[in-house]
Structure 1
């Protein structure tokens, strides 16, 4: 099939400011945020989420602060000479021509003194439209982003206020005084790349895999009895981590890390307030020798994954904030690492601007493995996981995935349900 090409006509980018006057103030971000990462409706929503209309400044010790200047967010209207059907039956990452669907306005992609949100709405020939959004991650996590988009859709449907009012209160997640790192944080270990394990972006391929009920059932048959209580998310994380490690063929003695993102909102007592849209997540590092991941049964990886959710407590989050301050806000370890986030429950698939629910709603990034809720063209519900690997490793990944799915199944037709979409 020839790659899909189309032409997009854009209006000049506009700065959308809040529809009403908003406070002019400086709002420090928390030490969890501070890590290295519809025009009229938007204006109305910004009255409530006015920090988005400001600009980031850097204070002492590289502390990020939002200057609530009301300068606005970037908004682009566009039209494309293509229909939704032309994108194919499988609407999942990677999407063709993303640079056309989310235009990188010159000067807009910096951290400091740049717009914190960019939105492009592209109308299609069929009457459908694509809403693409780029948001500065220091302002919100996936849950906070979903909260903002739900508010936007509610106001598009006539509401005068969001059903969930936004809460700032970033001081709840600021470092203690004095800071005290009380937990082990292997996600921030300093690891030398002696074996050249950091994956180059050259000759890379992105493929999305669909896991429906049939595939999940096949994988569950590989789980030992004492781990049967695992969630679907834990099962998929372990399964993909193992297949990916086998595909990369690392040194058997190498340490492989999986950063598994954990939403910590309910870990606090009292809980983080409803409406808080800042970052409240941690990514504890699960570590295993490559030879153990590759040679031991799936239960080895799964047991490590299941333990990770218990590591993240309120104290763990306090310790992360303190580490940010004491260690100069380090980035997480990239050597031998794989970052995974489950965004199946944040609610963006239900966002409705008045024309019905989305056929796809989720991240488009290729570096991390985002689990996204998805309904395929057969009407089957499941989870889509994009994988980004060198082309040679991708072939090995697909082979290993198919082999593992077929281990406990005599019906090889199961493999037809694994949906792939190669990079265009």
Structure 2
């Protein structure tokens, strides 16, 4: 279902600052080497969609629910007080630090309450191919120094959305999920979060080395480009949601296992290979150019005795990048399983103690020579998986409202078109038999490239 902007009209209150419920310390907090990556100095924006469980809308209940959420946020900020501070770049070394000053006027989290003139069902609970509508349900930061922002929008049906903008420099997806769960737990009457947050960013600070390994394996001279992204006029880029049915994934994995003589492949690995190749074809990357796939590998559960385990409750960035570089012609001509093998090998290497240490040291050494990804040629595809982060769990229901969907709002988190997200199917997909075991794929593309990418996804149905 496509979204028409004219259907949504929002009435907004004034933005207010929500402060921690109790006194928090005055301090300046340093971030880790991973937190200080240039590409993380931006806000990720997501929208949680809550459906009312009753047929009759009670406006007092809706207003009270907004009050309950603000109170819970205030209580959560006592434990996660860095989110109430300001993220500032220091002139001496160019690194980000979090300034926490409870006495400052601007201390706290910007919070906006809005009322929509329609029901959630009229905009399909944001379960749309075109996710443009989500842009209007988040409070985008005019001042990037605020690490956290919330916007709660109430709808005529009694349901509501919670739009969250959060600085990637302070946490990764796992950290976002942990923090949001803490808010919901407190809203549901718990006296404290079930998981105690841990800062300890010094665990992931690198050392200066004489010969760091290269962090960006693409050669700028041979990087592939898309004709859709190299026009003099501005390119119309949109984020789309594609539903990849469980049966389509099963066919893909079976064909890969047959090709590999029954070597097990995961859903992520099989889709990563297929999506990378499909995006290259949709973007019409030049055959003699180089393209790179980056898959994000978590290191929280690494069982390597050379590295101290990351403690439970840590909410900073703890993700490695596994990179695979191929010529576009090779990506198109290789069998899909050969690409999967490269992904498996890269993931395995990225999970070792040596790789983690060398990467963090290289990031620290090359801090002032960071790669600029603001301009995109289409050559890079970054894939991340949200399926196991618990963004749609039953423990996120509160106030008699049920969470039914979660959508990443279109935002410039990494670059124009690089980022793609595999997410769990939502509550509406759960009742569709073909979506059992399926995923929602959020990806950004030039509008002119979308029909070819859609054709590639549809081709999964005819496999085997």
Q: TM-score, normalised by structure 2?
A: 0.80
2:404 aligned with 1:373 = no
Shift of 1:308: 1.9
SS at match of 1:287: strand
- Equivalent position of 2:299 in the other structure: 264
Shift of 1:393: 2.3
2:405 aligned with 1:360 = yes
SS at match of 2:20: coil
Relative distance call for 1:205 and 1:48 in structure 2 (3 A) is closer
User: Of 8, 11, 15, which aligns to 2:10?
Assistant: 8
2:197 aligned with 1:166 = yes
- Equivalent position of 2:280 in the other structure: 245
CA distance in 2 between partners of 1:277 and 1:182 (Å)? 27
SS at match of 2:242: strand
- Alignment of structure 1 residues 64-143 onto 2, 5 Å: 64-70=96-102, 71-88=107-124, 91-92=127-128, 94-104=130-140, 107-108=142-143, 110=144, 114-143=145-174
Relative distance call for 1:325 and 1:198 in structure 2 (3 A) is farther
Q: Which moved more, 1:375-384 or 1:234-243?
A: 375-384
2:385 aligned with 1:342 = yes
Q: CA offsets, 1:191-240, max 9 Å, x none?
A: 24776448636133433211222111121233123464111111111111
Number of aligned residues: 401
Shift of 1:17: 0.9
- Alignment of structure 1 residues 126-275 onto 2, 5 Å: 126-176=157-207, 178-179=208-209, 183-186=213-216, 189=218, 191-192=220-221, 196-197=225-226, 200=229, 202-223=235-256, 224-226=259-261, 228-267=263-302, 269-275=307-313
CA distance in 2 between partners of 1:129 and 1:213 (Å)? 29
CA distance in 2 between partners of 1:342 and 1:194 (Å)? 26
Shift of 1:244: 1.3
CA distance in 1 between partners of 2:118 and 2:423 (Å)? 25
Query: Could you list the runs of 5+ residues in structure 2 that have no partner in the other structure?
Result: 41-68, 412-416
* Paired residues of 1:55 and 1:68 also in contact (CA < 8 A): yes
SS at match of 1:97: helix
- Equivalent position of 2:448 in the other structure: 392
2:54 aligned with 1:32 = no
Relative distance call for 1:285 and 1:195 in structure 2 (3 A) is closer
CA distance in 2 between partners of 1:181 and 1:359 (Å)? 49
Relative distance call for 1:391 and 1:277 in structure 2 (3 A) is same
Relative distance call for 1:217 and 1:12 in structure 2 (3 A) is same
* Paired residues of 1:348 and 1:361 also in contact (CA < 8 A): yes
Shift of 1:185: 3.0
* Paired residues of 1:185 and 1:284 also in contact (CA < 8 A): no
Shift of 1:311: 1.6
CA distance in 2 between partners of 1:83 and 1:14 (Å)? 25
Relative distance call for 1:168 and 1:89 in structure 2 (3 A) is closer
Q: Which moved more, 1:152-161 or 1:198-207?
A: 198-207
Query: How big is the alpha-carbon RMSD for the aligned residues of Structure 1 and Structure 2?
Result: 2.4
* Paired residues of 2:226 and 2:286 also in contact (CA < 8 A): no
- Equivalent position of 2:340 in the other structure: 302
Shift of 1:362: 4.2
Q: TM-score, normalised by structure 1?
A: 0.87
2:308 aligned with 1:278 = no
Relative distance call for 1:24 and 1:2 in structure 2 (3 A) is closer
- Equivalent position of 1:418 in the other structure: none
* Paired residues of 1:282 and 1:317 also in contact (CA < 8 A): yes
Relative distance call for 1:287 and 1:299 in structure 2 (3 A) is same
Q: Which moved more, 1:242-251 or 1:256-265?
A: 242-251
SS at match of 1:15: strand
Shift of 1:331: 3.2
- Alignment of structure 1 residues 35-46 onto 2, 5 Å: 35-36=37-38, 37=40, 38-46=69-77
Relative distance call for 1:93 and 1:51 in structure 2 (3 A) is farther
Q: Which moved more, 1:52-61 or 1:353-362?
A: 353-362
CA distance in 2 between partners of 1:373 and 1:180 (Å)? 43
User: Of 313, 317, 324, which aligns to 2:363?
Assistant: 324
Relative distance call for 1:316 and 1:348 in structure 2 (3 A) is same
